[in-house]
Amino acid sequence: ILPKKVTIIEVGPRDGLQNEKAFIPTDEKKAFITALKKAGFKEMELTSLVSPKWVPQLADAEEIIESCVDVATRNFVLVPNEKGAKRLYASRANAVAVFVGTSDTFNKKNINKMTKESLRELKPLISDFKRKGYFVRASISTAFHCPYEGKISEEKTLSLCNQFVDYGVDELCVADTIGMATPTEVYSLFTKLKATFPNILISAHFHDTRKMGLANVFAALQAGIDRFDSSAGGLGGCPFAPGASGNVATEDVVYMLEQMGISTGIHLDELTKALAIIRPYLSRPLDSAYLKTTGQL
Ligand code: HMG
Ligand code: MG
Protein backbone atom coordinates (compact mmCIF):
# COMPACT_ATOMS: atom_id res chain seq x y z
CA ILE A 1 0.00 0.00 0.00
CA LEU A 2 1.35 3.41 -0.93
CA PRO A 3 1.47 6.24 1.63
CA LYS A 4 -1.21 8.96 1.56
CA LYS A 5 1.33 11.64 2.26
CA VAL A 6 5.06 12.12 1.68
CA THR A 7 7.69 14.63 2.76
CA ILE A 8 9.80 16.28 0.11
CA ILE A 9 13.17 17.58 1.25
CA GLU A 10 14.17 20.33 -1.17
CA VAL A 11 17.92 20.18 -1.84
CA GLY A 12 18.06 22.81 -4.59
CA PRO A 13 19.90 25.48 -2.60
CA ARG A 14 22.66 22.98 -1.65
CA ASP A 15 22.97 20.03 -4.08
CA GLY A 16 21.29 22.12 -6.78
CA LEU A 17 23.73 25.00 -6.64
CA GLN A 18 27.00 23.42 -5.46
CA ASN A 19 28.01 22.50 -9.00
CA GLU A 20 27.18 25.87 -10.60
CA LYS A 21 30.37 27.41 -11.92
CA ALA A 22 29.62 31.12 -11.78
CA PHE A 23 29.10 32.50 -8.28
CA ILE A 24 25.43 33.30 -7.68
CA PRO A 25 24.92 36.46 -5.62
CA THR A 26 24.04 35.65 -2.01
CA ASP A 27 20.92 37.82 -2.09
CA GLU A 28 19.57 35.81 -5.02
CA LYS A 29 20.16 32.56 -3.14
CA LYS A 30 18.33 33.99 -0.14
CA ALA A 31 15.40 35.06 -2.32
CA PHE A 32 15.33 31.58 -3.89
CA ILE A 33 15.21 29.90 -0.45
CA THR A 34 12.54 32.29 0.84
CA ALA A 35 10.41 31.60 -2.24
CA LEU A 36 10.89 27.85 -1.84
CA LYS A 37 9.69 28.04 1.74
CA LYS A 38 6.62 29.86 0.47
CA ALA A 39 6.01 26.88 -1.83
CA GLY A 40 5.50 24.77 1.28
CA PHE A 41 8.75 22.93 2.03
CA LYS A 42 9.10 22.07 5.71
CA GLU A 43 12.54 20.50 5.24
CA MET A 44 15.35 21.82 3.09
CA GLU A 45 19.09 21.54 2.62
CA LEU A 46 20.25 25.15 2.76
CA THR A 47 23.99 25.02 2.19
CA SER A 48 27.24 23.31 3.21
CA LEU A 49 29.90 24.23 5.74
CA VAL A 50 32.63 22.73 3.58
CA SER A 51 35.92 24.18 2.37
CA PRO A 52 35.32 27.18 0.10
CA LYS A 53 38.36 25.99 -1.87
CA TRP A 54 36.56 22.77 -2.70
CA VAL A 55 33.08 24.23 -3.25
CA PRO A 56 33.43 27.98 -3.92
CA GLN A 57 29.73 28.39 -4.72
CA LEU A 58 28.80 27.77 -1.08
CA ALA A 59 31.41 30.08 0.44
CA ASP A 60 28.56 32.28 1.67
CA ALA A 61 27.12 29.52 3.90
CA GLU A 62 27.14 31.58 7.11
CA GLU A 63 25.22 34.42 5.53
CA ILE A 64 22.67 32.04 4.04
CA ILE A 65 22.13 30.31 7.38
CA GLU A 66 21.85 33.59 9.25
CA SER A 67 19.05 34.90 7.02
CA CYS A 68 17.28 31.70 6.04
CA VAL A 69 16.98 29.58 9.16
CA ASP A 70 13.51 29.73 10.69
CA VAL A 71 11.95 27.61 13.37
CA ALA A 72 9.10 26.33 11.21
CA THR A 73 11.46 24.51 8.85
CA ARG A 74 14.08 21.81 9.35
CA ASN A 75 17.07 23.58 7.82
CA PHE A 76 19.83 21.10 6.98
CA VAL A 77 23.42 22.22 6.65
CA LEU A 78 26.10 19.80 5.43
CA VAL A 79 29.13 19.36 7.69
CA PRO A 80 32.15 17.30 6.58
CA ASN A 81 34.53 17.57 9.54
CA GLU A 82 35.39 19.18 12.86
CA LYS A 83 36.05 22.55 11.32
CA GLY A 84 32.58 22.43 9.77
CA ALA A 85 31.13 21.50 13.17
CA LYS A 86 32.71 24.59 14.76
CA ARG A 87 31.16 26.74 12.06
CA LEU A 88 27.82 25.00 12.66
CA TYR A 89 27.90 25.76 16.40
CA ALA A 90 28.48 29.42 15.65
CA SER A 91 25.40 29.47 13.41
CA ARG A 92 21.63 29.27 13.95
CA ALA A 93 21.13 26.08 11.92
CA ASN A 94 18.94 23.46 13.60
CA ALA A 95 19.71 20.36 11.58
CA VAL A 96 22.91 18.86 10.25
CA ALA A 97 23.74 16.43 7.47
CA VAL A 98 26.94 14.42 7.48
CA PHE A 99 27.92 12.57 4.32
CA VAL A 100 30.08 9.59 3.50
CA GLY A 101 30.56 7.50 0.38
CA THR A 102 30.44 3.71 0.45
CA SER A 103 33.52 3.59 -1.75
CA ASP A 104 36.95 4.75 -0.61
CA THR A 105 37.81 6.16 -4.01
CA PHE A 106 34.75 8.41 -4.14
CA ASN A 107 35.02 9.39 -0.50
CA LYS A 108 38.66 10.37 -1.00
CA LYS A 109 37.78 12.54 -4.00
CA ASN A 110 34.83 14.09 -2.17
CA ILE A 111 36.17 14.66 1.34
CA ASN A 112 39.80 13.56 1.08
CA LYS A 113 39.52 10.60 3.43
CA MET A 114 38.98 6.87 3.29
CA THR A 115 35.46 5.83 4.33
CA LYS A 116 36.73 4.34 7.62
CA GLU A 117 38.67 7.52 8.46
CA SER A 118 35.55 9.59 7.84
CA LEU A 119 33.55 7.36 10.17
CA ARG A 120 36.19 7.70 12.87
CA GLU A 121 36.05 11.48 12.59
CA LEU A 122 32.24 11.64 12.43
CA LYS A 123 31.47 9.37 15.39
CA PRO A 124 32.32 11.89 18.16
CA LEU A 125 30.91 14.75 16.08
CA ILE A 126 27.54 13.00 15.77
CA SER A 127 27.44 12.41 19.55
CA ASP A 128 28.16 16.09 20.03
CA PHE A 129 25.43 17.12 17.58
CA LYS A 130 22.91 14.95 19.38
CA ARG A 131 23.96 16.26 22.80
CA LYS A 132 23.48 19.78 21.54
CA GLY A 133 20.01 18.99 20.22
CA TYR A 134 20.51 18.99 16.44
CA PHE A 135 18.50 16.77 14.15
CA VAL A 136 21.12 14.63 12.38
CA ARG A 137 20.86 13.04 8.98
CA ALA A 138 23.54 10.85 7.47
CA SER A 139 23.76 10.87 3.69
CA ILE A 140 25.11 7.67 2.20
CA SER A 141 26.64 8.52 -1.16
CA THR A 142 27.29 6.01 -3.93
CA ALA A 143 24.85 3.67 -2.17
CA PHE A 144 24.18 1.77 -5.41
CA HIS A 145 26.97 2.56 -7.87
CA CYS A 146 30.27 4.40 -7.66
CA PRO A 147 31.75 6.31 -10.60
CA TYR A 148 35.14 4.79 -9.78
CA GLU A 149 34.46 1.39 -8.21
CA GLY A 150 31.32 0.32 -10.07
CA LYS A 151 28.44 -1.62 -8.54
CA ILE A 152 28.25 -1.41 -4.74
CA SER A 153 26.91 -4.42 -2.86
CA GLU A 154 23.83 -4.09 -0.67
CA GLU A 155 25.85 -5.50 2.22
CA LYS A 156 28.34 -2.64 1.98
CA THR A 157 25.63 0.03 2.02
CA LEU A 158 23.68 -1.68 4.81
CA SER A 159 26.81 -1.97 6.91
CA LEU A 160 27.60 1.76 6.51
CA CYS A 161 23.99 2.59 7.44
CA ASN A 162 24.32 0.35 10.47
CA GLN A 163 27.37 2.30 11.65
CA PHE A 164 25.48 5.57 11.44
CA VAL A 165 22.49 4.14 13.30
CA ASP A 166 24.90 3.01 16.03
CA TYR A 167 26.32 6.53 16.19
CA GLY A 168 22.81 7.81 16.87
CA VAL A 169 21.67 9.61 13.71
CA ASP A 170 17.97 10.44 13.29
CA GLU A 171 17.80 9.79 9.58
CA LEU A 172 19.52 7.84 6.83
CA CYS A 173 19.45 9.50 3.44
CA VAL A 174 20.39 6.88 0.90
CA ALA A 175 21.69 8.32 -2.35
CA ASP A 176 22.13 7.25 -5.93
CA THR A 177 24.84 9.85 -6.47
CA ILE A 178 25.40 9.30 -10.18
CA GLY A 179 21.88 8.26 -11.16
CA MET A 180 22.63 4.71 -12.22
CA ALA A 181 20.30 2.72 -9.98
CA THR A 182 17.37 0.86 -11.50
CA PRO A 183 13.93 0.47 -9.86
CA THR A 184 14.75 -3.17 -9.15
CA GLU A 185 17.87 -2.23 -7.19
CA VAL A 186 15.99 0.58 -5.44
CA TYR A 187 13.11 -1.63 -4.36
CA SER A 188 15.45 -4.32 -3.09
CA LEU A 189 17.76 -2.05 -1.07
CA PHE A 190 15.01 0.11 0.45
CA THR A 191 12.98 -2.95 1.41
CA LYS A 192 16.01 -4.25 3.31
CA LEU A 193 16.69 -0.84 4.86
CA LYS A 194 13.10 -0.58 6.13
CA ALA A 195 13.27 -4.09 7.59
CA THR A 196 16.70 -3.55 9.18
CA PHE A 197 16.06 -0.08 10.63
CA PRO A 198 12.35 0.05 11.52
CA ASN A 199 12.80 2.88 14.03
CA ILE A 200 14.74 5.35 11.96
CA LEU A 201 13.71 7.84 9.30
CA ILE A 202 14.86 6.79 5.86
CA SER A 203 14.87 9.03 2.82
CA ALA A 204 15.75 8.46 -0.82
CA HIS A 205 17.97 10.81 -2.85
CA PHE A 206 17.93 10.23 -6.60
CA HIS A 207 19.90 11.85 -9.39
CA ASP A 208 18.28 11.68 -12.80
CA THR A 209 21.25 11.01 -15.07
CA ARG A 210 19.55 8.16 -16.92
CA LYS A 211 15.99 9.41 -16.46
CA MET A 212 15.20 6.76 -13.91
CA GLY A 213 14.52 9.25 -11.13
CA LEU A 214 10.71 9.06 -11.15
CA ALA A 215 10.69 5.30 -11.65
CA ASN A 216 13.04 5.04 -8.68
CA VAL A 217 10.80 7.27 -6.56
CA PHE A 218 7.92 4.91 -7.35
CA ALA A 219 10.01 1.84 -6.54
CA ALA A 220 11.05 3.38 -3.20
CA LEU A 221 7.41 4.26 -2.43
CA GLN A 222 6.51 0.62 -2.97
CA ALA A 223 9.25 -0.31 -0.53
CA GLY A 224 7.60 1.90 2.09
CA ILE A 225 9.67 5.09 1.75
CA ASP A 226 7.81 8.35 2.34
CA ARG A 227 10.69 10.86 2.40
CA PHE A 228 12.33 12.05 -0.81
CA ASP A 229 15.10 14.50 -1.62
CA SER A 230 14.66 16.39 -4.87
CA SER A 231 15.82 19.60 -6.43
CA ALA A 232 13.78 22.39 -8.01
CA GLY A 233 14.35 22.47 -11.77
CA GLY A 234 16.35 19.23 -11.64
CA LEU A 235 19.43 21.22 -10.63
CA GLY A 236 22.35 19.57 -8.96
CA GLY A 237 25.16 17.10 -9.03
CA CYS A 238 28.26 16.42 -7.05
CA PRO A 239 31.38 18.13 -8.44
CA PHE A 240 33.47 15.12 -7.35
CA ALA A 241 31.33 12.44 -9.00
CA PRO A 242 32.01 12.46 -12.74
CA GLY A 243 28.97 11.58 -14.84
CA ALA A 244 26.48 12.73 -12.22
CA SER A 245 23.74 15.03 -13.39
CA GLY A 246 21.03 16.86 -11.49
CA ASN A 247 18.67 15.53 -8.86
CA VAL A 248 15.26 14.32 -9.88
CA ALA A 249 13.23 17.53 -10.39
CA THR A 250 11.00 18.45 -7.45
CA GLU A 251 8.17 19.65 -9.66
CA ASP A 252 8.09 16.31 -11.52
CA VAL A 253 8.05 14.35 -8.26
CA VAL A 254 5.32 16.60 -6.84
CA TYR A 255 3.27 16.38 -10.03
CA MET A 256 3.50 12.59 -10.16
CA LEU A 257 2.66 12.10 -6.49
CA GLU A 258 -0.24 14.57 -6.44
CA GLN A 259 -1.70 12.95 -9.59
CA MET A 260 -1.48 9.64 -7.75
CA GLY A 261 -3.44 11.07 -4.84
CA ILE A 262 -0.40 11.30 -2.56
CA SER A 263 -0.20 14.62 -0.78
CA THR A 264 3.08 16.58 -0.73
CA GLY A 265 2.01 19.97 0.61
CA ILE A 266 3.94 21.70 -2.17
CA HIS A 267 2.44 24.42 -4.39
CA LEU A 268 3.74 24.09 -7.92
CA ASP A 269 2.97 27.71 -8.89
CA GLU A 270 5.05 29.00 -6.01
CA LEU A 271 7.82 26.54 -6.82
CA THR A 272 7.89 27.85 -10.39
CA LYS A 273 8.18 31.40 -9.05
CA ALA A 274 11.16 30.36 -6.92
CA LEU A 275 12.85 28.90 -9.99
CA ALA A 276 12.30 32.11 -11.93
CA ILE A 277 14.42 33.92 -9.32
CA ILE A 278 17.47 31.70 -9.66
CA ARG A 279 17.19 30.85 -13.34
CA PRO A 280 18.99 33.91 -14.80
CA TYR A 281 22.09 32.99 -12.79
CA LEU A 282 22.38 29.35 -13.85
CA SER A 283 24.98 28.15 -16.30
CA ARG A 284 23.00 25.14 -17.47
CA PRO A 285 19.46 24.61 -18.67
CA LEU A 286 16.77 23.38 -16.30
CA ASP A 287 15.63 19.81 -16.75
CA SER A 288 12.02 19.23 -15.91
CA ALA A 289 9.07 17.69 -17.70
CA TYR A 290 6.66 19.84 -15.68
CA LEU A 291 8.26 23.08 -16.88
CA LYS A 292 8.34 21.79 -20.45
CA THR A 293 4.72 20.70 -20.53
CA THR A 294 3.53 23.94 -18.93
CA GLY A 295 5.42 26.00 -21.53
CA GLN A 296 7.93 27.34 -19.05
CA LEU A 297 11.16 25.89 -20.47
P1 HMG B 1 41.21 18.83 3.00
O2 HMG B 1 41.94 19.62 1.96
O3 HMG B 1 41.63 17.44 3.24
O4 HMG B 1 41.14 19.56 4.41
O5 HMG B 1 39.68 18.86 2.59
P6 HMG B 1 42.20 20.21 5.30
O7 HMG B 1 41.77 19.93 6.69
O8 HMG B 1 43.57 19.80 4.86
O9 HMG B 1 41.99 21.76 4.99
C10 HMG B 1 42.24 22.35 3.74
C11 HMG B 1 41.78 23.78 3.76
O12 HMG B 1 40.36 23.84 3.87
C13 HMG B 1 42.30 24.54 4.95
O14 HMG B 1 42.38 25.88 4.56
C15 HMG B 1 41.19 24.38 5.95
O16 HMG B 1 41.16 25.40 6.91
C17 HMG B 1 39.99 24.44 5.11
P18 HMG B 1 43.83 26.58 4.31
O19 HMG B 1 44.54 26.39 5.62
O20 HMG B 1 44.45 25.81 3.19
O21 HMG B 1 43.48 27.99 4.00
N22 HMG B 1 38.87 23.71 5.66
C23 HMG B 1 37.65 24.23 5.82
N24 HMG B 1 37.17 25.45 5.57
C25 HMG B 1 35.88 25.66 5.84
N26 HMG B 1 35.04 24.72 6.31
C27 HMG B 1 35.48 23.48 6.56
C28 HMG B 1 36.84 23.20 6.32
N29 HMG B 1 37.60 22.09 6.45
C30 HMG B 1 38.82 22.43 6.06
N31 HMG B 1 34.64 22.57 7.03
C32 HMG B 1 37.37 18.84 3.19
C33 HMG B 1 38.73 18.20 3.37
C34 HMG B 1 36.34 17.90 3.82
C35 HMG B 1 37.34 20.18 3.87
C36 HMG B 1 37.10 19.03 1.67
O37 HMG B 1 37.33 17.82 1.03
C38 HMG B 1 35.71 19.51 1.37
O39 HMG B 1 35.33 20.61 1.69
N40 HMG B 1 34.90 18.67 0.70
C41 HMG B 1 33.51 19.03 0.44
C42 HMG B 1 33.01 18.26 -0.68
C43 HMG B 1 31.55 18.54 -0.95
O44 HMG B 1 30.97 19.51 -0.47
N45 HMG B 1 30.96 17.68 -1.77
C46 HMG B 1 29.60 17.81 -2.16
C47 HMG B 1 28.64 17.42 -1.09
S48 HMG B 1 28.38 15.66 -0.99
C49 HMG B 1 27.21 15.34 -2.19
O50 HMG B 1 26.93 16.17 -3.00
C51 HMG B 1 26.50 14.01 -2.16
C52 HMG B 1 25.06 14.12 -1.63
O53 HMG B 1 24.30 15.00 -2.42
C54 HMG B 1 24.40 12.75 -1.68
C55 HMG B 1 24.63 12.08 -3.04
O56 HMG B 1 24.06 12.52 -4.03
O57 HMG B 1 25.42 11.14 -3.01
C58 HMG B 1 25.05 14.57 -0.17
MG1 MG C 1 23.35 14.51 -4.37
Q: What is the DSSP string of 206-232?
A: EB-TTS-HHHHHHHHHHTT--EEEEBG
pLDDT higher than threshold 90 for residue 25: yes
Element at 47 (helix H, strand E): strand 43-48
ipTM of predicted complex = 0.98
- Amino acid (1-letter code) at residue 246: G
Q: How confident is the model at residue 192 (pLDDT cuts 50, 70, 90)?
A: very high
Mention every residue, 6+ apart, whose C-beta is less than 8 A from residue 52.
58, 59
Residue 27: C-alpha distances to residues 41, 68, 72 (Å) = 20, 11, 21
pLDDT higher than threshold 90 for residue 165: yes
The predicted pLDDT at position 143 comes to 98
The predicted pLDDT at position 180 comes to 97
Q: How far is the CA of 148 from the centre of ligand 2 (A)?
A: 16
Q: Tell me: the pLDDT tens digits for 235-259? A: 999 999 998 899 999 999 999 999 9
> Ligand 1: does its nearest atom lie under 6 Å from the Cβ of 51?
yes
The predicted pLDDT at position 287 comes to 87
Query: What secondary structure does DSSP assign to 7-31, as a single string?
Result: EEEE-IIIIIHHT-SSPPPHHHHHH
Q: Tell me: the pLDDT tens digits for 52-93? A: 999 999 999 999 999 999 988 999 999 999 999 999 999 999
pLDDT higher than threshold 90 for residue 297: no
Q: How far is the CA of 210 from the centre of ligand 1 (A)?
A: 28
Q: How far is the CA of 15 from the centre of ligand 2 (A)?
A: 6
The predicted pLDDT at position 52 comes to 98
Whole-number Å distance between alpha carbons of 231 and 273: 14
Residue 81: C-alpha distances to residues 36, 48, 49, 56, 187 (Å) = 28, 11, 9, 17, 32
Task: Report the catalytic residues.
Answer: 238
> Ligand 1: does its nearest atom lie under 6 Å from the Cβ of 182?
no
